[in-house]
A and B are shown apart, each in its own frame.
Chain A
Amino acid sequence: MKDRDQKQKALKLSVANRWFPQLEVDVQPGRALKERAPLVTDLDVFSSIPDQFKGFRSVVFDCKTKAKESPVNRALWLAGVLERLQADQGFCILKKDQIQLDHCLMATRLNVVLLTEDEFDLYAKVTCPRYGGPLGNVSEMDAWEQLFSIPSRFPKLDSGIQFIRSTFWMVDDSAEACRRCLACLKGLHPEMDPSKPEHIAVFLEFCAVFARSLAVVVCQIFKSYMLPAKQTDLADALLVMLYGGREAYEHRNELFKLVKGKGTDQVPPDLSLPEWDRFLQLVRQCLDAPFEIQHAPLILREAAFSALRGDTARAFAKTLCAESPQGARFALLIPTYLGRAAKLPPEFEKAADEILIPLIPVK
C-alpha cells in the first residue's frame, strides 16, 4: 500500500474528530459508455463529517509521497475531485519541507488545505486533542488491509467489498444509496456464512454504510416533516425519496405490479423496500434523535473491524457509544432490519446483537 503513513494520519484525524472515514475509494466515471468503465482515480481517504443540515459534509484526503509533486497542481486536481464527489473540503498531504505560501492561499480559496507531513501533525494536534489518544480499530491501516483482503479468501464477496469501497460512494442520492445497499447485500445472501468472522465483518460494514445513507434520509425527513403524525405520511414521504420522486415511483410500481401479477388472480402489493413496516419503524425511531444517527456509522464500522480482528474488549467502540447513547441504540437497530430485509441467516442478527448490546452504556 502506497503512502501508508500519511493515510494512517488522515484516518487518525478523521476518527479523532468522530468523522466516518473510508479508505481508498475508487472513483468511477459516472455516466459511462462501456460496461466496465475504467476508473477515474482513487481517493486515499474520504471522510464524512456529521452535519445537522446536510446529514454529512465530506472531506477528501490526498496523500502524496513523491518529492517532485507540484503542490499547486495537486490542489487544482483535488478541486476537480471535490466537485465530482460534491465534497466540501480537501486536504493534500505532501512529502515536502515547505510549500509556497501563495500556493497555499490559492488552494485555500479552492477549499483545499495544502500541508507538509509535519504540518499535518501540527494541524491535527491543534484542532483535535484526541488525535494522540487511542482511536480504535478503524484508525489502523492493518484493519483496512484485512478488510480489503477478504475477497482473496472469499472471492464471492468481492462485489460486496467493491460496493462498500466504491459503488456506494458514487451514488449521489442517499435514499438511492440505501436501496442499492440493501440490493447488494441481498444479492450476496447465498454466500454469507455467519460462522466466519470475516462474513460478520462484511455484514456490519454493510450496516455501517447503510447507516451513513439512512442518516441523510432521516435528516431530510426531519427537516421536511419533523415527526410525521401518521404512518401513511411517513410512508409516502419515504417512497417518494427512495424511488426518485412521485412519477418515478408510480412508473416503477406499475411495472412491478405487472410483473408480479402475471399468472395470478391476486392483486400484487405495491412496490416498497422489503420488510417495509420495519423500515418505517426504524426511520421513525431514528427521528427520536435525528442527528444522533450520524454517529451510528462509525460505531458499526468499529464493531465490524473488531469482529475482523478478534478484538473482544471493544474499548473504543464503548467510548463511541458512551458519547452517543442514542447513536448506539440506532447502531443496534440497523442490523436487525438489514439482516431481515436482505434475508440473511438469523445468526447474523444474533452475532450483531452479541457485539453491539454490551456496548450500550448503562447510567
Chain B
Amino acid sequence: MPIIPPAITIDKGPSRDAEVAARCHEIQTGLGLAEVPEFEQLQRVGMAVRLALHIRGLASVNYETLKLVANHYLSIPVGGIKSILEVLAEVEFVKLQTEGKTIKAVIPNVPYYETLYETLGTYAAGAKFNEAEQLSVELLSRLSKAPEKVDTLITHFGVETKLFNRAFDLGKQGAYLRVHRSRGRDVALSPTYFSENSEIYADMVSGVGSKQVKKLMDALHSMQGVPLSIIQKQKEIAGVKFTDEELNLLLRLAQDGAVKPPSITTAHSGEQFFLFTPTPSGAALAVTKRDIYEKAMAIVAAVRQGQFLASRFAIRSPGAVLYKLKENMKLAKATTEASQQYRKLVVHRVARLVDLGGGFSQLQIIDTLENREALSIAYKLVDAGVAVGTEVDESARQALQQEHSFVESLVASGALQRRGKVTLTHDQQLEMETLFLK
C-alpha cells in the first residue's frame, strides 16, 4: 500500500485557485509599477505572490528595507506595501513585529510547494474579482496554453467588445498579451509564453487553428528536450501521434526558432535539434534567471542526446542521470561519447570534460551556484516538464538580508523607479467627466 498522506494534491497539477494566483502574478509582473483603475484585487494578489516568493525562507526583514527593496526590485509601490503585508498576514504567510501601528519587521512563514499559490488563489477567490479582472485572468490562462484567434475568444467569453478591447489594451501595456494580424485575422497570444517569433505562432493559428498548436505544445511539455529527428521518425511524442501536417508545423516551429532548439553535433548522428516549449515560467521568469535557464536547456539536450541518439551506450533514465549529476557533480563513468555529447556544456561553462586517455572523457560540473541551479532546473524540466524556482530575483533576496543603510545606498545608486499609470479609455473618461458634472 503506498504511503500517501491526506490532503496533498501537489502531484495532480495546480488547482484552479493556484492557477488564478499564478496568472495574477504574471499580470502584475508585466504591469510593474503601472496602476490600472479597474484592477482592485488582481494587482494586490499579484504583488502578494511576488513579495511572498521573494521573502520565503528569510529570517526576518526590516520593514524599511522591505519597502525599499520591494519598490526598487519588485515594482511594488511603497504606498501599497502595507496592504500587501496585511494580505500576507491574513493568510498567515508572515508575522508582523509592530510598535503601535508601525510595522518594524516582517517574519516570513511562506509555505513551499503549491501551497503558496493555492492559498493566495483561495484568498483571491474570496476577494471576488470584478468582471475586468476575471476576464484578464481567464484570457491569460487560455493564451498561456496556445495562441488563439480573437474572434474565437470573443465568442468564447461572450463579453462586451468594449470590455474585451480594454482587457487587450491593458495586456498590451503590461506586455502579457499581444495581437498579431495574419492572413486577415487577428490572433491573440501571450508573449510571456510565446516570446520569440510570436508572428510565426500567429500565422500558424490563423492557418490551422489553435487546437493543433496546443496539441504540439502539450506533447512537448510532457517530454522537454526531445530531439526533432526522433519525432520525425516515430511521428509521436510520449504516445501522442502526429499527422504529417502537424509534423510540418513542428518542423517550421523549430526552423524558425520558435521553440528555441539548442543543437548538438556528433559524428554518429549529425546535427540534432532539441525541442522545448517556450519559456515555461512565463512573465514570472526573473531576469537574473534567463542565463541559468538556457544552461538548463543545454543540459537537458545533452542528456536527451544520450537517451535517444547514443552511438553505443544509451541513457535509460535521463532523470536518474540528472539526479546523479546534481548530487555528485560529475558522471561516474567516462565514455568515448562524452566529448561530443557534452561539448555544448563546456561552451556554456556548465562543465568541463576531463580527458582520461584513450578517447575517454569524464564530465565534471563546474561547481558554481548558477550551475547547481541550472542542474536543478534541468532535473525538474525532465521530471515534471516545468522549470521551478525561475521566478525569484536573487538580487532582491540578497538586498532583503542586508543592513538597512546598505540597501539605501544600493537603491540610491540605481535608477529611480518611475510609477506609470494606465490611462482611462475614452468611455471611462466620459463616464468620469459626467460623474464630476453631476
Contacts and interface: CB of A to CB of B under 8 A. Distances in A.
A235 B388 CA distance: 19
Contact of B10 (A230, A239, A329): A230
Given A332-B95, A333-B109, A270 B4 contact: yes
Interface stretch (B67-75, B112-120, B161-169): B112-120
B7 to A, nearest CB: 6
Determine chain B's interface SS by DSSP, over half rule.
Answer: loop
A287 B110 CA distance: 13
B7 A276 contact: yes
A240 B3 contact: yes
A284 B7 CA distance: 17
A250 interface: yes
A281 B95 contact: no
B369 interface: no
Instruction: Tell me whether chain A's interface is mostly helix, strand or loop, or mixed.
Output: helix
Contacts of B60: 325, 328-329, 360-362
A326 B3 CA distance: 31
Given A250-B1, A363-B404, A231 B59 contact: no
Given A325-B59, A328-B59, A277 B65 contact: no
B10 A232 contact: yes
A239 B404 CA distance: 42
Interface residues of A, number: 38
Given A231-B10, A270-B4, A272-B6, A357 B112 contact: no
Contact of A231 (B8, B65, B104, B107): B8
B380 interface: yes
A188 B5 CA distance: 26
A249 interface: yes
A236 interface: yes
Given A230-B11, A357-B97, A362-B104, A250 B3 contact: yes
A284 B8 CA distance: 15
Interface in B250-279: none
A236 B3 contact: yes
A263 interface: no
Nearest to A327: B59
Contact of A239 (B3, B108, B403): B3
Contacts of A172: none
B114 A362 contact: no
Contacts of A332: 95, 107
A296 to B, nearest CB: 12
B105 interface: yes
A235 B8 contact: yes
B209 interface: no
A142 interface: no
Contacts of A289: 59
Contacts of A358: 97
A13 B11 CA distance: 49
B3 A231 contact: no
Given A231-B112, A289-B59, A363-B402, 18 more contacts: A229-B380, A230-B11, A232-B10, A235-B3, A235-B4, A236-B3, A236-B5, A240-B3, A249-B3, A250-B3, A276-B7, A277-B115, A281-B115, A325-B59, A360-B60, A362-B104, A363-B401, A363-B403
Interface of B: 1, 3-8, 10-11, 57, 59-60, 62, 65, 92, 95-97, 104-105, 107-109, 111-115, 379-380, 383, 388, 401-404
